[in-house]
A and B are shown apart, each in its own frame.
Chain A
Amino acid sequence: MKDRNHLAKVGLIHQVKIVENGLIDIPMLQVLRPDGSVHQEAELPDINEPLCLKILQTMQYIRLLDERMVAAQRQGRISFYLACTGEEASTVGSAAALEPQDMIMSQYREQGALAFRGFTSKEFMDQMFSNQNELNKGRQMPIHYGSKALNFMTISSPLGTQIPQASGYSYGQKMAGLNAVTICYFGEGAASEGDFHAGLNMAAVLNCPVIFFCRNNGYAISTPSEEQFAGDGIASRGLGYGVRTIRVDGNDVLAVYAATEQARKIAIEQQCPVLIEAMTYRLAAHSTSDDPTGYRSKDEEERWRLKDPLQRFKNWLDSKGWLDQEHNLNFIEQTRQDILKELKLAEQVPICPVEQIIEDVYDTPPWHLKAQLVDLKKHIEKYPEAYPKTSGRL
């Protein structure tokens, strides 16, 4: 047995001295100024033109998708939507720094990461219309995406539950000897859940190759971050758990990319967790069920609109001579049409046949579920007009 001394690292003092909050300064990495110009002393990540253009197109794509789907919800075509406007740099920039074999475990505002992985407009629409082509079989509300093929774990609404799961998933990747990490996204509100604390502590103690990526966007529905925590953001907690930590400007896609690339390197090489706190702002409402005018001012939103991550990145690309304006306008128009086309197609596709209701509860349905399905089908046969979505295909 190894001799242990848990006081070995503890220094001594001989007068009462309470350690004050805020003694440790955690600065924020920023490469691009809000106008898109590069800080003189900034170290640019090693990133080429095609990757930059893919990042740009994904950010633009997500903004167009969000606009279209918020409108579709207002028109009553889908029941719910949740936009990520203003946070595109955080999710797209981080996903761009990963490898395809890395698992993504997201909260629910990370459609940027999913789109970067290659999730198509058709797949987005099938999910939001809960139709029979949907990968999760239409069982969850709109925006609860999931794709095994793209290593994007299906989203769950309860907050923070994915955090300890990400620790476990990455431990499995490590034990299997894979050259892969797990990235776990969550908001600063979810970081108040007990699962956050459990997840970080376990990852640190068990040396899990996981990147905890906190989108600190200022609000948990209506609750501003100053009513969420009194400490120095989420980054300070990483240090408390012995997790390597970096704070980054979440509206600066190059800074996010650089931080995530470095975090991945550390997680793989040293087999340990890293926490990234991306400072950003939720320009969107929490969801289409929310109305931010009840808790924040238009002025505040306007101030953040000036820090738009998309415009910032475009300005930088332009300064590099990598932005072909005409080509980009064509891309936007083409994307708009493509999204609308897929929306119109997906809303015509029926939901899964009723048999699907008992599948996947277990690996195979036990007797009682089979019996319940038999009764249900008999009932639908008797009242076909009351169950129009399934009665036509019994």
Chain B
Amino acid sequence: MAKMNMLQAVNNALITAMNDDEKVMVFGEDVGHFGGVFRATSNLQQTFGKGRCFNTPLTEQGIIGFATGLAAQGSVPIAEIQFADYIFPAFDQIVNETAKFRYRSGGQFSCGTLTIRTPYGGGIAGGHYHSQSPEAFFAHVPGIKVIVPRNPYQAKGLLLASIRDDNPVLFMEPKRLYRASVGEVPEDDYKLPLGQAEVITQGTDITLLAWGAQVEIIEKAAVLAEEQGISCEVIDLQSILPWDVETVCHSVAKTGRLLINHEAPLTAGFASEIAASVQERCFLNLESPICRVCGLDTPYPLAHEKEYMPDHLKTFEAIKRNVNF
């Protein structure tokens, strides 16, 4: 075990994957010699050479199209999109190409070895274009998996699992935690299962569900609620697509209440999908309406970032309202 922050854990996972399989290649804007704008790819080019870790021209659609073709050939590409806010030029490639590659060819061709890494999320004074959480757009796309880790240990294990999974995976890294989140990480190779949520804290009165950087927000709210005698069960969803409906519903059946928190705007955010599925399965268990604490339905603002964020206080208030419904 070693103490690592999330960037070091991502870097360590990439080194592990590149050591393990020479078909693994890492590329994107500024990821080469410089090691990426966040330094997640530090020393990869120096260690593995320019052929396996390289800068690309500044074209997201090019990066993902290239990566999709490279994966179809049988290599194992790990493509970086520098900020999730800049993934949209590649939306066509991801939605129409990457995600449908296997299905449209009757399983003859696949780009399942592809992993797309991208930093997402706010809380860093990044304004409109360095703050967004676009997971819900991709949750609507059959054929890709969407994964979000909450700490360095999860980041390494889930990233290695994503790289080795035989489906294209969008791996979204909460950049607010890149240096802030530090923890013990095994230096060995390990994988954590995709598609599984994790119950972090057991509780009895209400289930709190989030992913990525918002997990620590609901944990903070759970502490405030605890002081008021409200027992919260805290779950990290980890996998947005496919998502672990069983773990969530098992918890809701026990607590009778569900609060979902995400940074992305409320309307058509992934909480909507979770709420719809949970009410189908747990209708008779529910003691109050499923509640969403999310970003506002506005572009992500700079000056009003604090007001926009679904923080622990908004979550705490929502917990109280929900329990007293």
Contact = CB atoms under 8 A, between A and B. Distances in A.
Given A192-B57, A223-B30, A368 B307 contact: no
B142 interface: no
Contacts of A351: 303-304
Interface stretch (A64-72, A328-336, A385-393): A385-393
B298 interface: yes
A229 B57 contact: yes
Contacts of B29: 220-221, 223
B170 to A, nearest CB: 19
A369 B301 CA distance: 14
Q: What is the size category of the interface that chain A forms with chain B?
A: 35 or more
Interface stretch (B12-20, B126-134, B194-202, B270-278): B126-134
Interface string A20-49: 000000000000000000000000000000
A99 interface: no
B62 interface: yes
Nearest to A388: B306
Given A220-B29, A222-B34, A358 B317 contact: no
A138 B308 CA distance: 14
Nearest to B126: A141
A368 B128 contact: no
A223 B303 contact: no
Given A157-B130, A351-B304, A372-B296, A194 B57 contact: no
Contacts, number: 135
B156 to A, nearest CB: 24
Interface stretch (A117-125, A209-217, A374-382): A374-382
Contacts of B299: 139, 361
A65 B29 CA distance: 29
B61 A194 contact: yes
Contact of B298 (A295, A358, A382): A358
Given A141-B125, A361-B297, A223 B58 contact: yes
A131 B302 CA distance: 10
Interface string A157-193: 1110000000000000000000000000000011011
A139 B313 contact: no
B212 to A, nearest CB: 21
Contact of A139 (B35, B59, B303, B311): B303
Interface string A40-60: 000000000000000000000
